[in-house]
Amino acid sequence: MRPTLSLDGRVAVVTGAGRLGGIGAAIAGELARAGAAVAVIDLAAPTGGTADEVEAVAREVRATGGTVLTAAADVRDPEACAAVVALCVEELGSCDVLVNNAAAPHGASGVDIADIPPEAFALQQDTNLLGTFLMTRSAVPYMRAAGWGRIVNIASIGAFRGVRHRSAYSATKAGIIGFTRNVAIDVARSGITINAVCPGMIFTPRNAEAPSTPPEQAHNTRTRFSVAPLGRPGTPEDVAHAVTFLASDLASYITGQTLTVDGGLGTALIPE
């Protein structure tokens, strides 16, 4: 049988997927359209300040005809990670695809290196890198038992392209790439692949127009995000398409790799 993009019968777990218009939500929707049942995992689901938004993401995914589970998990917590993966297996039947998308906001770490509080650096490290490790460690035993698995880690072009005031964030994303390469060796003989996707400048609700954003500021933001050679900002769907490919049988001979989704930004010298 020829490999296809179809994920019919598969179960996908996506962390950090509880924000409308975000990369995680787009990934969850695209995996569902490919046929997977999807677990939308977020720090706030199903209770918390953004619980309504998490459920709104779930409704959007269900509207594609997909089966959706929402669950809460703090990816910094080993017990929470183990429990949420076990819940997905219990409720949906398996854990075939894991997308480690959860990431901490820049917050207090988005400043000059001399001014970053240690706790702000730790938040980036614990959410972005430790969280990727903990969720992967929790999912791999189920994938090994099934003899099939796909893990896709969301890194960033910041892992290999310097950006002012992003040292903490970029360090964790570089760590994710190194982690991905090494885990690929550990799990290869178990039918599991693991790869990283590095988004470039992706236009999401964190940086896009909001009701309180002045029109001129929104325009400047979109212009700043259009510096890639392809001449437009990336969209969450651009990242989701790459993730879906890596999760499918079409990518069965790709592991330990880093796929950059940046509109060519990494190939060009662009002034800040």
CATH T-level fold of 11-264: Rossmann fold (3.40.50)
pLDDT above 70 coverage of the chain, percent = 88
Residue 49's contacts (CB-CB under 8 Å, 6 or more residues apart) are: none
Single out the catalytic residue among 121, 133, 142, 169.
169
**Measuring CA to CA, which residue among 255, 95, 258 is closest to residue 189?**
255
Higher pLDDT, 8 or 270: 8
Residues 18 and 27 sit within 8 Å (Cβ to Cβ): no
Tell me the pLDDT of the chain averaged across its residues: 89
- Catalytic annotation present for 169: yes
Residue 227 makes CB contacts below 8 A (sequence gap 6+) with 201, 265, 270
Question: For residue 1, is pLDDT > 90?
Answer: no
Q: What is residue 211's predicted lDDT score, i.e. its pLDDT?
A: 43
Q: pTM for this structure? A: 0.91
Mean pLDDT across 151-171: 88
